[in-house]
Amino acid sequence: MSKPSIRFLYLGDPKTDRRLKNFISLFSGLGYKVELIIASPRATNDESRITIEGAATTEIHLDHSRGAKMFLEYNRLLQNELANREPCDILFACELYSLKAAAQAKQNGKAKKLIFDARELYTELPTVASNPLKKLFWKRWEKRGLEQADLIIVTAPDDAAAIKQVHGFLPESIVIRNLPKREEFHTNDYLRKYYHILFEKKIFVYVGGMQTDRGLRNMIDTMTSLKDIAVFIMIGEGILKERLQEQSIQLGLQNVVFFHPAIDSEKIIEILSSADIGISLIEQHSKSYQFALPSKVFEYLLAGLPVISSPLKQVRDIFAGNEGVIFAEPDNPAALIGACKGAIALSNNANLRKQIHDDAYSNFTFEKDEQALKNYLSNNI
């Protein structure tokens, strides 16, 4: 009997995408024949081929690197790629941008099932929700895909109802939060040694995209009041990075605010464990962000870090009353400074850090949520 087959479709950087790797690992472990079609801007040098353990990978190289031209080019090339492939059992669209081509392929008999991983409330993202024409475009794009989808995976409990409200219907849905795999944490000095930080100073850390509405400017401003007792390290890349660097220079914080390159997802928990406090300050400027349940919160906790989080609804639903999570509005300077000082006090408690990790290890890892997908597969494939 031949193995069942699944074909993942993804537009993005797989090196830092823990969620994609978790799903590939799951299906590979279940005995599926796993393929990955991934798109990236056309290489200008001899970059090494992208590989992910457990998946046979095909790369689509794009001439455009952003905006509508990139999405339309990707959709066209992906449709052509899928049309020339043998049928598979499951097409797995890892985000909205792959969904339309996946739906067309399923309609043409190239897959028995279509799974859509709805990582965001896409029609409610700030750049979309504020532009009626753009919102209509992506609403139609998503609706076309949902009409062919057999299962939608959402990353937080309230997301399915919110997406149904947009379209008036929804395929079968399950919740798999954006969680890391189980991993023991061991405190270490990586970040301290990398930036020659004195042991007397605490390390605040942020991991993720350097984008607007992440509270990063606010946190840099806050460091002017904490510069004698702490530093702030941002790990990742993004369109806001250069402006954040300029801000830190203007405030004279070159030895207080640091920028670390993006890290492969397999290494992130170990590196976070060398910090003291995790920062997740998403600003609630859109419905999508109001519903956010950031993966970084769970990563920080698994790394044994107390967390400062903006009071997002679905974060509060889980962590209200949790000693390891302190809530603060990013645009309230006094509250943010108070939260930082409170988190510094918590970080001095080694037993609490161990407790934070143990609770995350037991309750907030991918292994905890993956059973919902396993149940679906056993009943439908």
3-class state of residue 220 by DSSP: helix
| End-to-end alpha carbon distance in the chain | 14
DSSP letter assigned to residue 110: S
Q: What is the per-residue pLDDT for 193?
A: 97
Residues of the chain predicted below pLDDT 70: 1, 41-49
Instruction: Reply yes or no on domain 5-179+366-380 having CATH 3.30.565.10.
Output: no
Q: Which amino acid is at 41?
A: P
The CA R_g of the chain, rounded to the nearest whole Å, is: 21
Strand ordering across the sheet containing 307-309: 257-260, 230-235, 202-207, 277-280, 307-309, 325-327
Tell me whether the CATH fold assigned to 5-179+366-380 matches the one assigned to 190-363: yes
CB 137 within 8 A of CB 85: no
Alpha helices in 251-332 (DSSP H): 268-272, 287-290, 295-302, 313-319
Nearest-angstrom CA–CA distance, 170 and 41: 33
The pLDDT mean for the chain works out to: 93
Q: What is the per-residue pLDDT for 2?
A: 79
Directed axis angle between helix 159-167 and helix 132-146, to 10°?
100
pTM of the model: 0.92
Q: What is the per-residue pLDDT for 48?
A: 52
- Using CA atoms, how far residue 30 sits from 5, 56, 327, 374, in Å, is 11, 16, 39, 9
CB 80 within 8 A of CB 9: no
Q: What is the per-residue pLDDT for 44?
A: 42
Nearest-angstrom CA–CA distance, 18 and 24: 10
H or E element that contains 351:
helix 350-363
Could you tell me the CATH superfamily of domain 190-363? Glycogen Phosphorylase B; (3.40.50.2000)
Q: What is the per-residue pLDDT for 294?
A: 94
Q: What is the per-residue pLDDT for 369?
A: 96
Sequence ranges of the domains in the chain = 5-179+366-380, 190-363
* Residue 343, number of CB atoms within 10 A of its CB: 24
